[in-house]
């Protein structure tokens, strides 16, 4: 798949079939995540891959807008240590995960982490260090159908040449 196609065709998918995500694909995805840019190359992240049903259920019960995690075959939790640019860095890794998944024929959804009241509970339930920040949760798997493109602001509306 071409990069441009992965970027423009990716959609947030919230329902998956039961097929597990092969571990070699998860490794490729995390390898793509760790190549994301970070401020001063600090790379403050760690990634927890969850495939156990009981843990997925716990994550789904904690994330109020991510109940569907409970029914997903896999969920990646993106954590960062508490650095100045942890949020930007963790978001860059999250986007790499979404695009890598798309490229590999998988579907995924970014579920909010940072600023959510369940951050600490997710961190504790996954055994991450106490000073770590949950940036995102990313359920992923194989989708049978693709959601229609939600409305996106037009190129002409958002692109300003030289000045706003």
Ligand X SMILES: Cc1cc2nc3c(=O)[nH]c(=O)nc-3n(C[C@H](O)[C@H](O)[C@H](O)COP(=O)(O)O)c2cc1C
Which residues would be at the binding site for ligand X (CB under 6 A)?
11-12, 14, 65-66, 109-112, 150
CB of 92 to ligand X, least distance (A): 12
CB of 14 to ligand X, least distance (A): 6
Beta carbon nearer to ligand X, 24 or 151:
151
CB of 55 to ligand X, least distance (A): 18
Beta carbon nearer to ligand X, 115 or 163:
115
State the helix-helix crossing angle for 86-103 and 23-34, rounded to 10 degrees: 140
Beta carbon nearer to ligand X, 44 or 66:
66
Beta carbon nearer to ligand X, 11 or 121:
11
Evaluate the CA torsion angle 4, 100, 31, 34 in order and state its sign: positive
- Comparing CA positions, the residue from 159, 140, 136 lying closest to residue 36 is 136
Q: Give the pairing type, strands 132-141 and 107-108.
A: antiparallel
CB of 20 to ligand X, least distance (A): 22
Cα 43 vs. chain centroid, distance in angstroms?
Answer: 16
CB of 11 to ligand X, least distance (A): 4
Beta carbon nearer to ligand X, 106 or 161:
106
């Amino acid at each position: 798949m071409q990069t441009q196609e992965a970027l423009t065709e990716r959609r947030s998918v919230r329902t998956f079939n039961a097929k597990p995500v092969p571990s070699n694909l998860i490794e490729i995805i995390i390898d793509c995540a760790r190549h994301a840019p970070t401020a001063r190359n600090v790379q403050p992240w760690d990634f927890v891959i969850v495939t156990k049903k009981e843990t997925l259920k716990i994550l789904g019960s904690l994330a109020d807008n991510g109940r569907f995690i409970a029914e997903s075959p896999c969920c990646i939790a993106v954590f960062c240590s508490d650095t100045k640019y942890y949020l930007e860095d963790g978001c860059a890794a999250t986007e790499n995960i979404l695009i890598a998944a798309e490229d590999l024929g998988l579907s995924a959804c970014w579920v909010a982490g940072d600023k959510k009241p369940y951050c600490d509970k997710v961190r504790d339930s996954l055994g991450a260090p106490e000073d770590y920040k949950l940036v995102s949760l990313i359920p992923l798997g194989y989708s049978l159908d693709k959601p229609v493109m939600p409305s996106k602001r037009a190129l002409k509306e958002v692109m300003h040449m030289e000045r706003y």
